[in-house]
Structure 1
Amino acid sequence: MNNFSVLALLVFMLGATLQARPVVVKSPDGRIETTINTDKQLTWSVVSQGVTVLEASPLSMTFDNGVVAGKNMQGVKSRIRSVNQVLTPVVAVKNDRILDHYNEAEISSRDGYSVVFRCYNDGVAYRFITRFAKPVRVMDEEVRLVFSGDHATWFPEEESMFSHNERVYLDVKLSDISNDRMCSLPMMVRIADGPKVLISEADLEDYPGLWLRGGSTAHTLQGLLSQAALETRLSGDRDVRILRHANYLAETKGTRSFPWRYLIIAHADKQLIESEMTFKLASPCALKETSWIKPGKVAWDWWNALNLYGVDFKAGVNTATYKHYIDFAAKYGIPYIILDEGWYDLKDLMKVVPEVDMEELVRYSREKNVGLVLWTTWKALDDKMEEAMTQFEKWGIRGIKVDFMKSDDQWMVNFYYRT
């Protein structure tokens, strides 16, 4: 072997060694550390204040163009950056100014994708980004969370993926969660002698929502996502059940960012409430004009089942009852009332029931300076979207409560954006 061949071999070996070297990114305060390995299978592990939160956990996405992002990564490059900025939400739910301070590692492949990992002081997150020239089908996504032991959890178990997601959180061990048990998000893992870890997602768009189930190995949770719907059937006025699924999760743009998968890591319970992780990871507000968004308390008829006492009329879904609610709201400074289920014919959103004089309620609520919020099923609204929105604007309706979606597939997620 000549000297040139030996030198070329050494350069190749050095390059391979550098490519396989782990990338480490820490939170700004240095208490959380994420280690990313790209050798054959992309994995990430997380340590918080010396306690192992995640052991090496694989992640990947499979596309119909032949790319399996996260496996056998080619031409790997990494870029580290730090961001320290302040976000100002349109609606200040917890804070009117949110510190967005993180360190980030972007691991890119010459196959047209990258994976971004972020470390905040209150948790960690990752997402895939693709730069394919043509639209793709996402065939599968591997979300696997490998924990260090048989920790306790708060597990909101679901019976099927057709659900309201109104579940009881069960106190079960990771070992109790078999592969046939599943939950919606968020869920929590309580690390023994360590932090509480809340698992969820953010910036979900044009893609199915993430659920979790028991993994095939010990102390593991794995992702569960609904495949795209090919055939559906309407049951009643609101339930659209999927009869036949595709063999893929989503058809989507080739160049895009996929949802964040995140962990809030809390060594004190109050940190769970204080965290603004979902907002920090969300895309910026797409609305240019937001002055019309005015949150506030609401008098809700459904809360007390329309039971009114000591009145000179029969309580129920009728004009007199809603005038009484408007009077109550005006007296106590409550800016809105809701007309929940019953104000329209469930077969047609545009048909107000005879017992409700909507024009009079609109006039009376305006006189009393109380805004009206209307309830509707998602299906009724979707069937008459343009007509309904035009009418609601004409009436001066201040908000819409949309209900009974009961699905997390790509089509239903896109309904939120259409609305």
Structure 2
Amino acid sequence: MKNKFIYCLLALEAFFLTANSFAQTKELYLASKDHLNKITLSLTTDGKLSYNVTRRNKIIIADSPLGLSCDDQDFTSALSVVEVSPVQETREHYQLIVANNKSVDHVLEHRSITLKNAQGALMILDLVAGKEGVAFRYRFQDAEKHMRSIKDELTGFHITQNSNGWMEPYDKAGPYTPGYEDFYLPVNSGDPVANSRNPAVGWCMPALFNVNDHKSWVLISESGTDGSFPGCHLQPDSKGGIYRIAFAEKDEKYTLPLAEKEHAYPQSTLPWTMPWRTIIIGDRAGDILLSTLITDLAPASKIKDVSWIQPGKAAWSWWSHPDDFTPKIYNEFTDLSASYGFKYTLFDAGWEKANKEGKIIDHALSKGVKPLVWGYSSQYFDPEKRKERFKQLAEMGVVGVKIDFWCSDRQEVMAAIQSVFEDAANEHLLIDLHGTTAPRGWQRTWPNYVTAEAILGTESYFYEPRFPDKAAEQNTVLPFTRNVAGPVDYTPFALTIRKFPRLNTAVHELAMAMIYTSGIIHFADSKEVFDALPDEVKNLFRDMPATWDKTECIIADPGKSVVLYRQKDALHYIVGINGTNSAQAIKLDLKKWGKGFSKFRLISEGKDKLMEFNVQTYPVSSAWSYTLPVKGGFIIQFIN
């Protein structure tokens, strides 16, 4: 009788456990507050974990794998649900110093799913859903303090076969790679890597796709990467349209004093919280361009007083005078900054000798222009040397450092970059990274991180024969990809003809300074070019902001055209570019965008489209028609 009673209790317990597990399994999803975006998890009978993402119940990311293979535990199969947390709501209300829209106010839904493997070890999957998309991350909350390595992350993003998009090859390690300086290429889902500038070992993030029978757009990226994880990219093999996470390569060590390693696996003591895998979703490509989901998920600012962090513009001598490191040329560009009211001047490689000979920093300070200086990444890798160097530069009057040639996404480099931001902030120094990985929400956490390269910019007129033909197209793709991740140092306004002659019109090049978002805009060309500009264009340079209060996307067609409305204080602009080899007719209701203004100034192509500008003033109308020239552009400033 006693055995029968025990059997009944065990059976009853099993029933409740099974019922509870079933109930929790039914709750393995999270929807945004507006119910548009939803991420749903699934477990197979053998305990393999997957997910999908929908918008309005239409597939955005089809069933895709999840899981981690660690050196001490396996979380790729035999998983079961232990706990499903209640849905919690947070409000991300903050301001960005460098942004399309200054103020951010988003509501995010959160839920955590705790799973265990066959050995009883626990893994948590945190889910987030908001109006701009969804995200997830892995987390171990064990407090054992032992070191764990991740040998493989199964995470994939299944883009269905009828989808196309734009992706950038992730270059194999070399003296200048990976540096996120390749073309964004048009792809169909599952295409192999081809036509890269250098040998490639995968695809970069962000990656942009047009999905759901071309009714929706999605951008795949990551946020919140810190020193406990490498920067990640996507594997080259995407058969069936499944793009899987790949870690940094072990040989990414050409420019930094990094140790030889058999593997470059992520490693950390426990507890361990990993980066967010972000999936930005929009009905229009313009929704992607304006998204802040990446910074919404990043840690809040660690700098309490940000009053010293000031966006601005800079003259820069290297592009027009790459072999001239004399005090004379540096001072000439400082004077150019002063004459246009630019806050900054950038002294690139070779500046230290010029400063010893001609005190170029003192000259800049005497002109009321703040000096920025160039440095090599290895100078800023060792913690003690870095702090000493920052302190020395600050005492000299330097206000920011452009640190070049990182060329690695290894975990040690991600850690060093975080320390660079912090140590620079302690000395009130701004940071511009070059030859580097793309931002991952860091501009919110460390607002002194005002811009970064990680883009195929105008220096490519020196080095890349395909650049002139592809530049206009790229300029209409990058606002929806790289610039969504964070500020971008494209070095616009490169009019002087270089080794590979420019095909974009002069207005297209000028408009790029207002299409891209960068905390400091480093203008590429010479004093002679600036001096030859019409007065109205000179005034545009004086007025042009380096960040914006409000942006709206009027035309958003990656690879073809971009037209933006931009506003900063009392300044109101519409800026557009054509990325194609065909003229494009557009029609805009200027009364909608120029409320309160009676006239607008139009800057368009002059007689010599490569070098000249035409400036005319017109009354504001509700049906303004314009034809964008081949690889051309326009700038409208509303005036009274």
Aligned match of 2:190: 175
Read off the aligned partner of 2:391 and give its amino acid letter. T
Q: Which residue of 2 aligns with 1:185?
A: 205
Question: Does residue 1:200 correspond to 2:221, yes or no?
Answer: yes
Q: Deviation of residue 243 (structure 1)?
A: 8.5
- Match for residue 311 of structure 1? none
Give 1:326 shift: 1.4
Amino acid at match of 1:43: S
Partners of 2:56 and 2:244 in 1: CA distance = 25
Residues 138, 86 of structure 1: alpha-carbon distance in 2 compared, 3 angstrom cutoff: closer
SS at match of 1:294: coil
Is the CA contact (8 Å cut-off) linking 1:139 and 1:248 kept in structure 2? no
Larger CA deviation: 20-29 vs 53-62: 20-29
2:160 match: 148
What SS does the corresponding residue of 2:66 show, helix, strand or coil?
strand
Deviation digits for residues 378-405 of structure 1 (CA, Å, limit 9, x no counterpart)? 0133364233222201101010011111
- Closer, same or farther: CA 64–373 of 1 in aligned 2, 3 Å: same
- Tell me the equivalent position of 1:346: none
Q: Secondary structure at the match of 1:80?
A: coil
Aligned to 1:104: 110
> Quick one: distance in 1 between partners of 2:328 and 2:356?
9
Q: CA offsets, 1:68-93, max 9 Å, x none?
A: 34643345211132425242235142
- Residues 1:263 and 1:296: Cα distance change in structure 2 (over 3 Å): same
Give me the whole-angstrom Cα distance separating, in 2, the residues matched to 1:176 and 1:150: 12
Q: Could you tell me which amino acid in structure 2 is paired with residue 400 of structure 1?
A: V
The 5 Å alignment of 1:5-404 reads 6-39=11-44, 40-66=47-73, 68-69=74-75, 71-74=77-80, 76-89=82-95, 91-109=97-115, 111-132=121-142, 133-134=144-145, 135-161=147-173, 162-177=177-192, 182-191=202-211, 192-206=213-227, 207-215=229-237, 217-226=239-248, 239-240=255-256, 244-247=260-263, 249-305=265-321, 316-343=324-351, 352-353=352-353, 355-357=354-356, 360-382=359-381, 384-404=385-405
Relative to 1, partners in 2 of residues 1:149 and 1:80: Cα closer, same or farther, differing over 3 Å?
A: farther
C-alpha distance in structure 1 between counterparts of 2:162 and 2:259, whole Å: 37
Q: Describe the SS at the equivalent of 2:154.
A: strand
Q: Does the C-alpha gap of structure 1 residues 6 and 320 become closer, same or farther in structure 2, counting only changes over 3 Å?
A: closer
More strand by share: 1
Contact 1:102 1:118 in 2 (8 A): yes
The 1:242–1:130 alpha-carbon spacing in structure 2 relative to 1, beyond 3 Å, is same
Do the aligned partners of 1:84 and 1:99 also contact (CA within 8 Å) in 2?
Answer: no
CA distance change for structure 1 residues 365 and 4 in 2, over 3 Å: closer, same or farther? closer
Answer whether contact 1:90 1:290 (CA < 8 A) is retained: no
Alpha-carbon contact 2:191-2:238 (below 8 Å) kept: no
Which structure's relative contact order is higher, taking Cα pairs within 8 Å and 6+ residues apart?
A: 1
**Runs of 5+ consecutive residues of structure 2 not aligned to the other structure:** 195-199, 421-640
Q: Give me the whole-angstrom Cα distance separating, in 1, the residues matched to 2:231 and 2:93.
A: 25
Q: Distance in 1 between matches of 2:165 and 2:100?
A: 26
Contact 1:228–1:410 (CA<8 Å) still a contact in 2? no
Q: Distance in 2 between matches of 1:151 and 1:181?
A: 22
2:172, 2:201 within 8 Å by CA — same for their partners in 1?
A: no
Range 35-44 or range 388-397, more displaced = 35-44
For 1:149, give the aligned amino acid. Q
**Contact in 1 for aligned 2:64/2:242 (Cα 8 Å):** no
**Residues of 2 paired with 1:252 and 1:3: CA distance?**
46
Q: What is the total number of aligned residue pairs between the two structures? A: 395
Contact 1:203/1:260 (<8 A) preserved: yes
Contact 2:155 2:245 in 1 (8 A): yes
Supply the distance in 2 between the matched residues of 1:197 and 1:42 (Cα, whole angstroms).
22
Name the residue aligned to 1:409. Answer: 410
Deviations 1:26-83 (A, max 9, x none): 11211112111244122211111232111221111223332x3464334521113242
Q: Cα RMSD between the aligned structures?
A: 2.6
Instruction: State the AA in 1 paired with 2:290.
Output: E
Contact 1:144 1:215 in 2 (8 A): no
- Mapped to 2, the partners of 1:359 and 1:88 lie a distance apart of 43
Q: 1:19 to 1:269 in 2, by over 3 A?
A: closer
Tell me, what secondary structure is at the counterpart of 1:317?
coil
- Mapped to 1, the partners of 2:130 and 2:294 lie a distance apart of 12
